[in-house]
Amino acid sequence: MLPRIASLQNVKIKNLVKLRQRAERDRHKLMLIDGERALRLALQNNFPIEGIFYHEQTAHCALLDDARLKKIPMQPVSAGVFEKISYGNTTDPFVGLAPQPVFSLNTLPHQTNPLYLIAEGLEKPGNLGAILRSADAAGVTGLVLCNSHTDIYNPNVIRASLGAFFTVPLAQAGSDTAVQWLKDHGVQILSASPEAVRLYSQIDLTVPTAIAVGAEHAGLSAPWLAETLVKIPMNGQVDSLNVAQSASVLIFEAMRQRISKT
Amino acid sequence: MLPRIASLQNVKIKNLVKLRQRAERDRHKLMLIDGERALRLALQNNFPIEGIFYHEQTAHCALLDDARLKKIPMQPVSAGVFEKISYGNTTDPFVGLAPQPVFSLNTLPHQTNPLYLIAEGLEKPGNLGAILRSADAAGVTGLVLCNSHTDIYNPNVIRASLGAFFTVPLAQAGSDTAVQWLKDHGVQILSASPEAVRLYSQIDLTVPTAIAVGAEHAGLSAPWLAETLVKIPMNGQVDSLNVAQSASVLIFEAMRQRISKT
């Protein structure tokens, strides 16, 4: 039997449209996942998807097969409905619904020689997305978000991350808590600051390491600035790098050192 | 004598508003520069600004003093006019007008041991802005833009670059021309490609070097792929880095090698 085609009158659909607003997402502790690529990575990483809505004219595809195997409810919808629930982004015929997971330090994976990236006070979904993408590529053990000023469950974060939201182990924590947790786990903490004397590349990053980057304007807060400071050399006239660029340069240097040591 | 306060009826103002559209900018070979920070860097780098429009209630400031010294025409405008010409971005009370410069390989500065960054087929103003910012910070000799699909004179490029548009020597060229020019100048060419066997960090980047990065989807074109290929190791599940992140990782590695050699 074919699933029933949902209409705009359907209460579930109405609620789905409302979830484009942060207040509604937070009230229901739900999030939206746009597009096949992100949904595929979510499925591969056993993210608890509650349902997938798709354009009724979507051809048979691997994503729907996978979702069926995992017994995830699927709902075909008309073109008009899909345009509404996808916020006009109709080039990719899938929208997923999932609970907002709670990301805590305790759920980060254990690893003998971890490399953590800490991002404090992020303001823009696009920057968080770009950082997730670099964190995925560099293969960090986990990304710890401290005092985020951006909604980490914003669909734009997932879109900008190309789905790395589902591949990078995440934690949210206050800065004091995160610093203490890292110390308790014997991880050296390096805080990026233009005020630092030492270059990031002069530090041994092959031991258990956490690299902290701060928001563009405010920089890192006191708990991080009390740790070892490192700087990226600035040869130009513009006085700061974008936070996602800084994070990439720092974690790929750690990766380079780790590769050249093996 | 105080300068006359311009009104919306003023023809100059009307034309200025139209310049928010690319077709108008290209027709008149003009560009707009939003904000004090970008204008300050433009002035410092002797960019040929034709005029600065500012909110009539702007306090006396260093930017206006500098512009006066350089004999750049300045025009105070009413709040209503400023809102129009600044496209609603009224937090920063300055908009500048300048001719679109022609950026060619021949105008790039000469340097004994140059480091060029080549970006081919860029699609997004934000990515070009971020690349400019990293190129400024790393202190590259020049940024060569090949086959750009984005308008490099878009005000959003300048905004995203935080003014690095005015600090980084720029060139525009076809890819064949750029490859030949680099060879004629004895510069090794390294092309970023996921298909490469060698890691970027295994190459000596302390000699005259050009690093080429391509558009996110298409990658680099044939003239670049015929050169030495290098890759950034990808440990994750998402199969590409953002082009601005890749560029940053590569040019800062060159910088790191050059610093550690001295």
CB pair distance less than 8 Å for A248 and B259: no
Contacts of A201 in chain B (CB under 8 A): 256, 259-260
CATH superfamily of A105-261: SPOUT methyltransferase, trefoil knot domain (3.40.1280.10)
Nearest C-alpha in A relative to B251: A249
State yes or no: pLDDT of B157 exceeds 90: yes
Q: How many CB pairs under 8 A join A and B?
A: 124
Hey, is the C-beta of B138 within 8 angstroms of any chain A C-beta? Answer: yes
**Residue among B128, B62, B58, B47 at smallest CA distance from B86:** B58
Domain spanning B11-99: which CATH class is it, in words?
alpha beta
Hey, is the C-beta of B244 within 8 angstroms of any chain A C-beta? Answer: yes
Do residues A255 and B233 make contact, with C-beta atoms less than 8 angstroms apart? yes
Nearest C-alpha in A relative to B240: A137
- B250 Cβ partners below 8 Å, 6+ apart? B117, B190, B192, B200, B211, B213, B230, B232
Overall size of chain A counted in residues: 262
pLDDT reported for residue B1: 37
| pLDDT > 90 in chain B, percent | 76
Contacts of B240 in chain A (CB under 8 A): 137, 162
pLDDT reported for residue A154: 95
- pLDDT tens, residue by residue, B107-127: 999 889 999 999 999 999 999
Average pLDDT of chain A, as a whole number = 92
Q: Which residues pair with A170 in a beta bridge?
A: A143
Nearest C-alpha in A relative to B252: A249
CB pair distance less than 8 Å for B242 and A167: no
Hey, is the C-beta of B164 within 8 angstroms of any chain A C-beta? Answer: yes
- Region A83-103: mean pLDDT is 88
CB pair distance less than 8 Å for A245 and B126: no
Higher pLDDT, B59 or B77: B77
- Region B232-251: mean pLDDT is 92
Q: How far is A26 from chain B (nearest CA, A)?
A: 27
**Exposure of A28 in the CB half-sphere (CA atoms within 13 A):** 16
pLDDT reported for residue B5: 63
CB pair distance less than 8 Å for B260 and A168: no
Angle at B166 between CA B38 and CA B210, to 5 degrees: 140
State yes or no: pLDDT of A245 exceeds 90: yes
CB pair distance less than 8 Å for A236 and B167: yes
CB pair distance less than 8 Å for A248 and B248: yes
Contacts of A211 in chain B (CB under 8 A): none
User: B86-103 burial, b if ≥16 CB within 10 A, otherwise e?
Assistant: beeeeebbbbbbbeeeeb
CB pair distance less than 8 Å for A234 and B163: no
Query: Would strands A74-77 and A51-55 be described as parallel, antiparallel, or unpaired?
Result: parallel
Hey, is the C-beta of A237 within 8 angstroms of any chain B C-beta? Answer: yes
pLDDT reported for residue A2: 45
Nearest C-alpha in A relative to B202: A260
- pLDDT tens, residue by residue, A153-189: 999 999 999 999 999 999 999 999 999 999 999 999 9
Domain ranges of chain A: 11-99, 105-261
Do residues B242 and B213 make contact, with C-beta atoms less than 8 angstroms apart? no
B228 sits in the region (left: phi over 0; alpha: psi -120 to 50; else beta) called: beta
Point out the residue among A138, A162, A235 whose CB comes nearest to the CB of B235.
Answer: A138
- pLDDT tens, residue by residue, B201-224: 999 999 999 999 998 778 899 999
B6 pLDDT band, cuts 50/70/90, is: low
Point out the residue among A139, A167, A234 whose CB comes nearest to the CB of B137.
Answer: A234
| For testing contact with chain B, the best of A36, A252, A260, A262 (most B CBs within 10 A) | A252
Nearest C-alpha in A relative to B256: A201
- Region A139-149: mean pLDDT is 95
CB pair distance less than 8 Å for A236 and B138: yes
Name the token pair of B162. Answer: 């935080």
CB pair distance less than 8 Å for A238 and B164: yes
| For testing contact with chain B, the best of A41, A211, A237, A243 (most B CBs within 10 A) | A237
Contacts of B138 in chain A (CB under 8 A): 235-236
- pLDDT tens, residue by residue, B29-45: 999 999 999 999 999 99
Do residues A135 and A164 make contact, with C-beta atoms less than 8 angstroms apart? yes
Point out the residue among A161, A234, A248 whose CB comes nearest to the CB of B245.
Answer: A248
Average pLDDT of chain B, as a whole number = 92
Hey, is the C-beta of B225 within 8 angstroms of any chain A C-beta? Answer: no
Query: Would strands A228-231 and A198-199 be described as parallel, antiparallel, or unpaired?
Result: parallel
What burial class does residue B67 get, using C-beta atoms within 10 Å of its C-beta: 0-12 exposed, 13-18 middle, 19+ buried?
Answer: buried
B2 pLDDT band, cuts 50/70/90, is: very low
- pLDDT tens, residue by residue, B68-77: 999 999 999 9
Hey, is the C-beta of A142 within 8 angstroms of any chain B C-beta? Answer: no
- Region B234-258: mean pLDDT is 93
| For testing contact with chain B, the best of A136, A248, A260, A261 (most B CBs within 10 A) | A248
Hey, is the C-beta of B109 within 8 angstroms of any chain A C-beta? Answer: no
